[in-house]
Structure 1
């Protein structure tokens, strides 16, 4: 089933056809290194949840006591493998389904009770757009716009043409929606969410089905929207996508929140990987091992390894470099690779990031 929520009073479009090695932390007031997190104040939170939980029939726990805080003006990445509870969370946030326990506030208002007041200020694309296949892309947007009682019919054509141009569909505007590719349908759904200025834009896997060029265009558009003052809440299973476009992120696994914070802080809190470029790989590996560097990998003129955990006292990198030189190692390159969000996920959960999971 596909479902698209948007900013009309009704809040929805038509629906055609409708453990393990980790401790997923309960103390969400601390970051993944155990340090207190700086949370945005209540007035600065566009999305806030407390103990948000969804259990389906048969006892399937889809979302487990989620505490989330999304600051105003951020591009917030909601990250996790497929099946980790991201879409269920978004549907609860927008009032499309009821939580089993806990609550959520959107733009400071309780959901779903305040849905009629809140949704006109929110644009959303969830699980792919719901479209009329027999209508052209342009006529679909005209329908969306006409269903919103807040819109001015005198400027409808101008609005529709503007968003078609903005998402790169102007040339295909008169083509029937049923003939659109998956990527084109994603673009059309995004265009529908952009027909009116919104305080908050919620996008569930917005680059699904897009080619690399299309993905770049959507990332650029998201940055432009954020620059205009729109808060963007973006779910994805693509770690690279989150790193490239988001200012903040939350990581989900098996329905539970692993961590949240700024992307920079999440990456900085994870141990980097030391990289030494040298033709003397055996000697370099020996010295690095003496300094507590683990998981050493020796390749052609390159040695890499994990720095010791902060609790163990990471070595002074200048001293390590000097020790290599004293040992006669010809150092051609020396540095620490920045940790990626994938590194964060693996370190926190002990699992690989299986996008098909």
Structure 2
């Protein structure tokens, strides 16, 4: 499956979806009277799933009872090891495949039944872009936009140029897509998703194939889009990526949702690492183990371990009493890696 960037009429009211226009009701939400059956209050989230399940032929359970809420205006990280069900979930949200059971609402409307109403307000890049290799990057975008019968042809070239510039492809716009690197193809797919203003941007592994500089640029773009009011749903297996750009996150493991919430809250749920700086690492490691510190690791002049529940002043005093020359003592804040590995028992790719 290639790119799922939606095109079509962007009929979005300048107010947030479902915002009540009456004086004194700013910030509240309502379900439009003509929204149709199955519509949910958009105040519940830009994406809302209830017991969403997908079982493939042969009995493979890819997504198992997913209850997910993506707050409006958030940069929402959707995390999990490869094969955890992330892409299958996104394909159901975008109406590309039918769920086996459960429900999914996007922008307050049921999917896939309301795909015609929802997708024009959503930009998406799923499993890499589908491109015409014999066309240039610019001509690919022109072709995408021309396929939308409601797109204004008078502004097409200007919008294509702006999208190329936004993802850093202006210099390569005339180059045939078949000569693009994987990272350049990812950028072009993002440009296609940004040809028109979107209420929601869904990105599946958007930095795949990018070098470190390209990753930084895409992360900056995500932040910029969020500051403009676009909700960004970002699937990734790179914890560093999520920690840098996301306000909220959820983690999947083996098809099930393990946890979701604000990124700061998720990290705070894991205990930090006790760090002791000393030239006497062997003695320090021994004392820490005696004091109940688990997972003790020695690296050069640092000894680290899982921070114990007991008073750390007592641990420090035990080190000094044992003759350990303590040059530094403290607790490092837990990272998303610490939190997610503790929750899932699986490792994540933290490069990036």
Task: Answer yes or no: same fold by TM over 0.5.
Answer: yes
Mapping of residues 220-235 of structure 1, within 5 Å: 220-235=220-235
- SS of aligned partner of 1:58: coil
The residue number in structure 2 matching 1:311 is: none
User: Is 1:334 aligned with 2:329?
Assistant: yes
Change (3 A) 1:354 1:180: closer
- SS of aligned partner of 2:206: coil
- Residue 81 of structure 2 contacts residue 347 of structure 2 at CA under 8 Å; is this kept in 1? no
- Residue 7 of structure 2 contacts residue 145 of structure 2 at CA under 8 Å; is this kept in 1? no
Q: Deviations over 1:104-149 (max 9, x none)?
A: 0001111111111111110000111111112111111111122223
The residue number in structure 1 matching 2:89 is: 89
Mapping of residues 193-342 of structure 1, within 5 Å: 193-308=193-308, 314-342=309-337
The residue number in structure 1 matching 2:159 is: 159
- Residue 277 of structure 1 contacts residue 331 of structure 1 at CA under 8 Å; is this kept in 2? yes
- Residue 5 of structure 1 contacts residue 94 of structure 1 at CA under 8 Å; is this kept in 2? no
The residue number in structure 1 matching 2:339 is: 344
- Residue 4 of structure 1 contacts residue 128 of structure 1 at CA under 8 Å; is this kept in 2? no
Q: How far does residue 196 in structure 1 lie from its aligned partner after superposition?
A: 0.6
Q: How far does residue 327 in structure 1 lie from its aligned partner after superposition?
A: 4.0
Q: Deviations over 1:298-347 (max 9, x none)?
A: 33322111123xxxxx1223443344334433221112222222222221
- SS of aligned partner of 2:48: strand
- Residue 8 of structure 2 contacts residue 151 of structure 2 at CA under 8 Å; is this kept in 1? no
Unaligned runs of 5+ residues in structure 1 are 10-40, 309-313
Aligned mates of 2:148, 2:311 — CA distance in 1: 61
The residue number in structure 1 matching 2:114 is: 114
- TM-score, L = length of structure 2: 0.86
Q: How far does residue 260 in structure 1 lie from its aligned partner after superposition?
A: 0.9
Q: CA RMSD in A?
A: 1.9
Q: Deviations over 1:214-246 (max 9, x none)?
A: 111101100110111110000011111111111
Unaligned runs of 5+ residues in structure 2 are 10-40
- How many residues align? The count is 320
User: Is 1:54 aligned with 2:49?
Assistant: no
The residue number in structure 2 matching 1:125 is: 125
- TM-score, L = length of structure 1: 0.85
- SS of aligned partner of 1:251: strand
Aligned mates of 2:7, 2:67 — CA distance in 1: 25
Aligned mates of 1:181, 1:273 — CA distance in 2: 40
Q: Deviations over 1:56-103 (max 9, x none)?
A: 111111111101110111111111111111111001001111000001
Q: How far does residue 151 in structure 1 lie from its aligned partner after superposition?
A: 2.2
Comparing 329-338 with 221-230, which one deviates more in the overlay?
329-338
The residue number in structure 1 matching 2:179 is: 179
- Residue 238 of structure 2 contacts residue 349 of structure 2 at CA under 8 Å; is this kept in 1? no
The residue number in structure 1 matching 2:170 is: 170
- SS of aligned partner of 1:297: strand
- Residue 247 of structure 1 contacts residue 262 of structure 1 at CA under 8 Å; is this kept in 2? yes
